[in-house]
Amino acid sequence: MSKESDTVLHGVTRPKPDLEPESEPKRLKPEPESESGSEYSYDDDSDNEADALYLKTSRNLSCE
């Protein structure tokens, strides 16, 4: 059970977006559109699955 928690925490707290701020702004531009309901398109448009998973997790946590 510790391994599962450790894996989840490692994936969620992953500072990758902070380490690559130059690559992120291009993907963050569509973010204002996500407010109008294009959130899922934003995830699908992401080439990095880890970033998409992070966004999904963030939305799930903010909804609860």
Amino acid 9: pLDDT:
52
Amino acid 53: pLDDT:
85
How far does CA 52 lie from the centroid of its chain?
A: 4
Total domains in the chain come to 1
For the stretch 9-63, pLDDT in tens is 555 555 555 545 454 445 454 555 444 554 555 544 446 777 888 888 888 777 6
The range of the structural domain enclosing residue 15 comes to 2-63
CA dist 35 to 14, 17, 48, Å? 24, 20, 21
CA dist 63 to 26, 42, 55, 56, Å? 26, 18, 12, 11
Amino acid 16: pLDDT:
52
